[in-house]
Amino acid sequence: MAIKTNKGISMDGKRTMTMDEFKQWLKKFDDDKDGRISKEELRSAIYETGGRFGRWKSWRGIRSADVDGSGFIDESEMTNLVDFADKYLGVRILHV
């Protein structure tokens, strides 16, 4: 499951997505379909994009995006992953 978008690739080689496209793509990793992204599910997304050090990066992503401290990223917290996606997933989020 590759990141597919009709927006293309930015000048720095990163894939570009709108926030809605990013949320839809991220939800594909919600294996238990509970509407939240766990550390393990985020790790799968990292590995899917060719990333390395998935355990550390997924811990970092959860820690930075999980505002309520539940240990999961829910729908309202997915916007907190914008910087994480840019830095660790090679995805630039377009704000349109």
- H or E element that contains 18: strand 15-18
Helix, strand and coil content of the chain, in percent to the nearest 5, comes to 50, 10, 40
Give the model's pLDDT for residue 36.
Answer: 95
Domains and CATH numbers, the chain: 15-94 (1.10.238.10)
pLDDT in tens, 69-78: 999 999 899 9
pTM here is 0.77
